[in-house]
């Protein structure tokens, strides 16, 4: 069974809770608080699995939850950070936000991708000891890991896509030029799923990847037949080999067949319809020697497509077709990799009291507040947009103004729950 689109639920692990603990040791008086911090929750990480070309593994497993971080312990012992949850996907899988359809990541040619980060661990009570609060009997809970629904959409990584009506010989041609073994028979819809084949053109590194796409029919772009579900697999193709039954062996007109397929491609995507094409006129062996093909050739020429006559039955001109495709591919841009357009929603800060606690430890100003703790735990400081949002929130909530009023000056070091920076007025 071929599955190329699925919706799954993913959740990063929660951070472990900080510990409330006090040092207890014989002959040591007033040991003080020693509660350790909680560990960070596990991330959700997608990786490319080169050994698969379908999303079949997600047919029954659609909920992925990373482990939570371990709680802190006494003796200043930090809770263990949870292991990341690794989700393997086929190369060419596009990860989208299920609600908006925005692209989060194109898993085409990249390393591991951290989709959701685990929540930060909570601080143990040792962090909250001050000269006036020497016995803090509280700690911070860990931050919840982020969660969302995503859609995994497989768009195969093929340089060349075979398109055409059912039973025109696409599978037969692919089986001749590659090691792919698609099902071949003299009836419609033999191919029920896209088939990839590596085509060699000789020489070191020579060749390309071709995809046999299930035959299109009229109305495929509206969901009729099998074509609609698989048109996404030619989205990346740099070149289309438009296979047509030039002999009209099933009583069809090859000119009308080309028009029909191009119309379906255009209705699905104007960009796809504009891709370069080579018209592969198959079943030449069934034509009589005196067949008049001038009208057909004039029509193909009017479209600006190269034309080659082949026979999958006898192998005539099949190698020449491969070389023609390879030559054209050298002039075309590389495979499309889709840019991410997903914007991570920023955490909402509840209106109301935005008071802070400001104290100095040596040369560092410590800024604390429950709402700030939750804010820091939900911000990705490696992301510029997220960092800018954090800066705006501090300004709009009056934190910077309160810091100035409390004595913080230009160049002073400020620490907000382990996020440390130099204060600049």
Tell whether 149 and 166 lie within a shared domain: no
Residue 303: phi, psi to the nearest 5? -85, -15
Burial of 189 (0-12, 13-18, 19+ CB in 10 A): middle
User: Given this model, what pLDDT does residue 351 score?
Assistant: 67
Note whether residue 285 is domain-resident. yes
Tell whether 349 and 297 lie within a shared domain: no
Tell whether 187 and 115 lie within a shared domain: no
Cα distance between residue 41 and residue 185, in whole Å: 53
User: Given this model, what pLDDT does residue 181 score?
Assistant: 62
User: Given this model, what pLDDT does residue 27 score?
Assistant: 63
Structural domain total, the chain: 3
53-109 residue pLDDT tens: 788 889 889 999 999 999 999 988 999 999 999 999 999 999 999 999 999 999 998
| Neighbouring residues of 396: CB distance < 8 A, sequence distance ≥ 6 | none
Q: At residue 329, does pLDDT exceed 90?
A: yes
Cα distance between residue 48 and residue 90, in whole Å: 6
- Domain boundary (109, 126, 154) is at 154
Tell whether 264 and 394 lie within a shared domain: no
Tell whether 27 and 44 lie within a shared domain: yes
Longest CA–CA separation in the chain, Å: 111
User: Given this model, what pLDDT does residue 81 score?
Assistant: 96
Query: What CATH number is associated with residue 323?
Result: 3.40.50.300
Tell whether 171 and 148 lie within a shared domain: no
What value does the mean pLDDT take over residues 120-131? 84
Structure tokens at 182: 């698609």
Mean pLDDT of the chain: 85
Q: At residue 189, does pLDDT exceed 90?
A: no
Enter the pTM of the model: 0.76
Are 112 and 47 within 8 A, CB to CB? yes
Tell whether 165 and 150 lie within a shared domain: no
Note whether residue 88 is domain-resident. yes
Note whether residue 300 is domain-resident. yes
Burial of 101 (0-12, 13-18, 19+ CB in 10 A): exposed
What value does the mean pLDDT take over residues 354-376? 87
| Neighbouring residues of 260: CB distance < 8 A, sequence distance ≥ 6 | 165, 218
305-320 residue pLDDT tens: 999 999 999 999 999 9
Tell whether 405 and 315 lie within a shared domain: no
| Neighbouring residues of 41: CB distance < 8 A, sequence distance ≥ 6 | 12, 13, 14, 15, 16, 66, 67, 68, 69, 82, 118, 119, 121, 142, 143, 145
156-168 residue pLDDT tens: 888 998 988 888 8
Burial annotation 288-305 (CB, 10 A radius, 16+ → b, else e): eeeeeeeebeebbeeeeb
Query: What confidence category does residue 196 fall into, taking pLDDT thresholds of 50, 70 and 90?
Result: confident
- Domain boundary (129, 154, 179) is at 154
Note whether residue 419 is domain-resident. yes
Query: Angle, nearest 10°, between helix axes 370-378 and 384-396?
Result: 160
Q: At residue 226, does pLDDT exceed 50?
A: no
Are 76 and 127 within 8 A, CB to CB? no
Domain that holds residue 40: 1-154
Are 7 and 150 within 8 A, CB to CB? yes
- Domain boundary (138, 154, 170) is at 154
| Neighbouring residues of 301: CB distance < 8 A, sequence distance ≥ 6 | 307
User: Given this model, what pLDDT does residue 52 score?
Assistant: 81
User: Given this model, what pLDDT does residue 127 score?
Assistant: 81
Q: At residue 206, does pLDDT exceed 70?
A: no
């Amino acid at each position: 069974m071929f599955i190329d689109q699925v919706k799954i639920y993913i959740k990063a692990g929660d951070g472990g809770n900080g510990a409330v603990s006090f040092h207890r040791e014989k002959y040591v008086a007033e040991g003080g608080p020693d509660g350790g911090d909680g560990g960070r929750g596990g991330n959700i990480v997608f990786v490319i699995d080169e050994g698969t070309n379908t999303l079949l593994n997600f047919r029954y497993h659609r909920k992925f939850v990373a482990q939570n971080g371990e709680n802190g312990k006494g003796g200043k012992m930090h809770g263990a950070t949870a292991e990341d949850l690794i989700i393997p996907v086929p190369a060419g899988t596009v990860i989208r936000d299920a609600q908006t359809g925005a692209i989060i990541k194109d898993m085409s040619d990249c390393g591991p991708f951290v989709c959701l980060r685990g929540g930060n661990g909570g601080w143990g009570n040792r962090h909250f000891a001050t000269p006036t609060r020497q016995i803090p009997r509280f700690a911070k809970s860990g931050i919840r890991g982020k969660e969302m629904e995503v859609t995994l959409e497989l768009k195969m990584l093929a340089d060349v896509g075979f398109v055409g009506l059912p039973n025109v010989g696409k599978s037969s041609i692919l089986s001749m030029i590659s090691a792919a073994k698609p099902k071949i028979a003299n009836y419609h819809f033999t191919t029920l799923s896209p088939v990839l084949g590596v085509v060699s053109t000789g020489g070191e590194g020579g060749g390309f990847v071709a995809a046999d796409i299930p035959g299109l029919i009229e109305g495929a772009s509206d969901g009729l037949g099998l074509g609609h579900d698989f048109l996404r697999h030619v989205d990346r193709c740099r070149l289309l080999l438009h296979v047509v039954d030039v002999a009209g062996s099933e009583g069809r007109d090859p000119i009308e067949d080309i028009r029909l397929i191009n119309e379906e491609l255009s209705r699905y995507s104007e960009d796809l319809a504009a891709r370069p094409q080579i018209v592969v006129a198959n079943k030449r062996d069934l034509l009589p020697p005196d067949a008049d093909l001038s009208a057909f050739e004039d029509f193909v020429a009017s479209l600006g497509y190269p034309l080659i006559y082949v026979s999958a039955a006898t192998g005539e001109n099949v190698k020449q077709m491969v070389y023609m495709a390879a030559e054209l591919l050298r002039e075309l841009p590389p495979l499309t990799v889709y840019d991410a357009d997903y914007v991570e929603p920023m955490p909402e800060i509840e209106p109301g009291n935005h008071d802070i606690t400001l104290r100095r430890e040596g040369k560092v100003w410590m800024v604390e507040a429950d709402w700030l703790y939750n804010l820091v735990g939900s911000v990705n400081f490696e992301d510029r947009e997220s960092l800018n949002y954090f800066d705006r929130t501090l300004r709009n909530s009056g934190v910077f103004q309160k810091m100035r009023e409390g004595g913080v000056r230009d160049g002073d070091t400020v620490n907000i729950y382990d996020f440390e920076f130099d204060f600049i007025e």
